[in-house]
Each structure stands twice: as structure tokens, then as C-alpha cells.
Amino acid sequence: MTTPTWGEPTGPLTSAEFHAATQAIMTNIEQVIEGKSATVRLAVAVLLAEGHLLIEDVPGVGKTKLAKALARSIDCSVRRIQFTPDLLPSDVTGVSVYNQETRDFEFKPGAVFANLVVGDEINRASPKTQSALLECMEERQVTVDGTTYELQAPFMVVATQNPIEMEGTYPLPEAQRDRFTARIAMGYPDPRAELAMLSGHGDHDPLNDLRAVADAAMVRRLIETARAVHAADAVQQYAIALVTATREAPEIRLGASPRSTLQLIRTAKAVAALEGRDYVLPDDLQALAVPVLAHRIIPTADAQLNRRTTDTIVSEIVHRLPIPHANRNPYDTRAAGGGTQYESRGR
């Protein structure tokens, strides 16, 4: 059921309420994840953009820890799926079982029936099982045996995966990669953060001490507040130009989809709200271009032979593409329009 319960507070939050709630979530997560404030901030932004997050990195850098810390910071239903080669699609979506007492089939919900689904090592399952997430990630529903079941709001999939060069992994299908709003890498911590990790994680796991600082109703209001952030026409045109450039780049065989344009704007609105603004800047799109677009594109064979990564290609597109500029504040255009033109970045 996606509608609020009776008597639940609704409507956008004030700026102070939004800041207090989001800061509490991020501070809570950072009790477990040391020295990764930007990564934590992007994870929260994807939540507020009603998207899904893919965390890709080598083993042991805290991918699952981040996903579980985000889940524990919100008082809502959470399910964890350990993806393995023998995992079946019905383990994810659910299955109809014959009940001998009622002499009828009874639906047993799968692990996706939760507000936040943590999929650990998603690329260790077969493509058939990976594809079981396609419908629920895009349409927020599951269809089993001809019957459609709505998923609760908010709904978010946080999946971790090892690089495809790792043994025993299957590349995610293009259609599934496109459904993830952003892909992030944890990276190794700096020496200071690693030293703090040894002190804080040496004798016990701080994840066990985490307590929820928000609930599903609060997250719904946070999402509604982020959704109301203004994106000027010039900013939307810039987002389209970024995505179009990935389709026209000679080093890219498959460019970003129209879905990526929509998710780029949605995530930029969430980032702007986290920054205390009620309008989107081109800087927001530039900062999000790599995490939102790079995992969706496929480079050509020549680019792969030259060891050109999709992150590098998207960064170069951002570097050379002109950005919108105007004589006054051009991005808060709700009172008046016009006056916006493009200029090169001049780097």
C-alpha cells in the first residue's frame, strides 16, 4: 500500500525540519562509516530521489555496512537478500503455495516486500534471478501468477556488487543497471579514518548500537520536500544536453537513456535540498553526472582496449560541455523567466 496511514502527518517539511531530519540520518550512518561523508550524502540523496543505489567496489571496504547502516537508521521494514548462484527468482518476488486446509493457492511474499531491500553481492546470482528485480524497481509492484501486488512507499533497493573481474560474478543486464539511480564506490579509507575504524570497531561492531532516527512516514515527507525543489528550464536543458552527449560520443556504443535524464534531475533536486536550497544549480548536475550516468553507458571496443573507463568518458563530457549562465540568479526562475544563455566552462 503506497498511501499514508490515517492520521499520519503529510505535506512538505520546513527547511529547518528537513535539515534536522536528514542531518540526523547522515550523522547516524557516519557512526559506522568512517571518513565517507560524501558517499553517505549521495546515498541519502538517492533515497530522497525515490531511486535505487548500486555500491560497487572490492570486498572489505564497507559496501554492505553502508547499506545496513542506512537501513537501520530508518524505522521501516527491511529485508536482506544474499545473492548466490542458486538463488531463484521466486526467492526474491514470492511464490504461490497450495494450502491444503483452504484448498486454494496462497501467496507467500518474497524478500522485496519491504521498504528497504538490501541486496548483497547482486552480481553473484544468475541473470535470470537478477531480472526478478526489474518490475519492482521500476513500477513498485510485483506480479506473480497473474496477480499484481503493490509495494509499500518508500521503496528502495540498495545493492552491492564486486567488480566483474572478480571470480564467480555475472555482469548485470543493461536494463537492470539502468534502473539503479546511481552507482558509487566506497574506496579505501584514508589513514586517519582507518585508525578511527580500528578504535571504534576493534572490540565491538557499532552497527549493533545504531537506533532509528526516522520512520517511513518521515521519509515520505522528506521525499515530498525534495520533489518540490525547483529546476529551471535552463537546468533541465543542461541535463538533456549532458545525456545527449553520451549518445553522440564516438567512444560510447550505448548512451544514457531518457530514464537517466529524469533520475539525474530528481537526484539533483535531492542534493539541492540537502544543501539548503530550493532550486537546482548546474553544479549539482556536474557533480552527479558520473555516479548517475557512468554505469548506464557501454564504451566501444576501441575505448575498452585503450582502458578508457566510463567514469573518465563522462567526466570529459562534463568538462567540455557548456553550462547555462545568466546575468542574475538564473536558476531560481519561479518569479520571472528568461535571461539565460550558455557559456563554456573555460577550464
User: Across-strand partners of 254?
Assistant: 298
Q: Would you state the pLDDT for residue 9?
A: 60
SS3 178: coil
Domains and CATH numbers, the chain: 229-327 (1.10.8.80)
Residue 245 C-alpha cell reads as 552527449
Q: Would you state the pLDDT for residue 206?
A: 79
SS3 300: coil
Side-chain half-sphere CA neighbours of 164 within 13 A: 5
pLDDT tens profile 20-63:
999 999 999 998 888 888 999 999 999 999 999 999 888 888 88
pLDDT tens profile 154-204:
999 999 888 766 666 788 888 889 999 999 988 888 888 788 778 777 677
Cα separation, 63 vs 44, whole angstroms: 15
Q: Would you state the pLDDT for residue 339?
A: 43
Mean pLDDT of the chain: 86
As a whole number of angstroms, the longest Cα–Cα distance in the chain is 74
Q: How many CB atoms lie within 10 A of CB 314?
A: 25
Provide the Cα torsion 82, 177, 259, 278; round to 10°.
60
Q: Would you state the pLDDT for residue 32?
A: 87
Residue pair 53/44 in contact (Cβ under 8 Å)? The answer is: no
Residues of the chain with pLDDT under 50: 1-7, 327, 337-347
Instruction: Give ∠ CA 17-18-23 in degrees, rounded to 5.
Output: 105
Provide the Cα torsion 20, 26, 32, 36; round to 10°.
-140
